[in-house]
Amino acid sequence: MQTFFIIAILALGFLITFQIAKASEYVAVIRGEEKTRKQTNKINAFMLLVFLIVGLIGVYYCNEQLKGKILGEPASDHGVLIDRMLYITIAITFVVFFLTQIALFWFSFKYQEKEGRKAYFYPHNNRLELIWTVIPAIALTVLVGFGIFYWFRITGDAPKDAMKVEVIGSQFKWEYRYPGQDGILGKKYYKKIDGENPLGQLWEDAANHDDIYIVGEPLHLVVNKPVKMILGAKDVIHDVGLPHFRMKMDAVPGTPTTMWFTPTKTSEEMKKITGKSDFVYEIACDQMCGAGHWSMRGEIIVETQEEFDAWMAQKKPKYLTAFPDKDPNAPKADTTKQIAANAVGNN
């Protein structure tokens, strides 16, 4: 039905344009070609001026409308750099936009065809050529220079003391893995992935024994502590998008990618800054990865080291779930019986 309407509207639009063209052709014949051409030329020149004014008002209106809808303060060290770069770019392009648009439409209006006026033939001017080559060259060098400088800082190596966390995307969820006490993420092999071992951890690698697996709950990060994310995917290409930290990086099956940043504000601080009591840091999938793509929205909690440690202390390595008999804290079957027997005896 929708397709039918679209085709009908297009056909109607074509018909109307065709009829108007035909009608103006007849009018031209009746009134005389030359006169009509001059009149149309005048109208066109005037419309260009109208376009300029309406366009500029539109630009201002859009800015007013969307002002409060941008993300606000960045919540990471890299975010500050990204925002600064963005504002410098916007400031430069803003000036260029205004100057060029006004010149373009105003000149078209002012120098429209007039009786007795002949276009001035002005083929070349070295000084002008130099000016409009050198100024954009300097502006672009500044922009690209900033970009490269920040790019190297952001994509450079993470600090040695950075905490590590693995982020794995699949249709349609995020899974996380912390390296545990040893600070090393154990080896994985995709053929080992099953219901009991969702990341395919190799249990013979001892580095895996203390790794903490998290799914279906927010990712926890420590404020003012650099975090290095090791990204991966199980099926298609996903993308870890962290809008509040101004970070994003593809999560690719088979090829680990990394990114690092330092969260600078806790979730609680962010609630005060934004004035929103329900504020949450989001992790989004920034790659159209399938029909359930939207449902990959996850949450991140940024907290103090103490809060993080308290949360982490409740977590049990996946290894101990896979091999309950290796768990020193798990109640042994016979010991439980013994305790029960003792309790009965004491009564």
For Cu ion, give the closer residue by CB, 36 or 171.
171
Distance CA 228, CA 138 (A): 35
**Whole-Å CA distances, 148 to 140, 142, 154:** 12, 10, 10
What are the φ and ψ backbone dihedral angles of 310, each rounded to 5 degrees?
A: -65, -40
Residue 138 in tokens: 């300097």
Residues of this chain that bind Cu ion (CB under 5 A) = 238, 285, 289, 296
With b for 16 or more beta-carbon neighbours within 10 A and e for fewer, the 301-330 pattern comes to: bbbeeebbeeeeeeeebbbbeeeeeeeeee
The least CB distance from residue 187 to Cu ion, in Å, is: 25
Which phi-psi region, left, alpha or beta, contains residue 180 (left: φ > 0; alpha: ψ -120 to 50)?
Answer: left
CB nearer to Cu ion: give 271 or 293: 293
Select 199 or 289, whichever has its Cβ closest to Cu ion.
289
Cβ(262)–Cβ(279) under 8 Å? no
Q: How far is the CB of 234 from Cu ion (least distance, A)?
A: 11
CB of 287 to Cu ion, least distance (A): 6
Task: Using the minimum distance from each CB to Cu ion, give the nearer residue, 169 or 180.
Answer: 169
Quick one: 19 or 295, whose CB is closer to Cu ion? 295
Quote the CA–CA distance of 115 and 317 in Å, as a whole number.
87
Closer to Cu ion by Cβ: residue 85 or 237: 237
Whole-number minimum distance, CB 173 to Cu ion, in Å? Answer: 9
Q: How far is the CB of 247 from Cu ion (least distance, A)?
A: 16
Instruction: Report whether 163 contacts 225 (CB < 8 A).
Output: yes
Q: How far is the CB of 254 from Cu ion (least distance, A)?
A: 16
CB of 200 to Cu ion, least distance (A): 19
Q: Is 293 exposed, middle or buried (0-12, 13-18, 19+ CB in 10 A)?
A: middle
Closer Cβ to Cu ion, 173 or 225, answer by number: 173
Give CA torsion, residues 201, 204, 206, 210, to 10 deg: 40
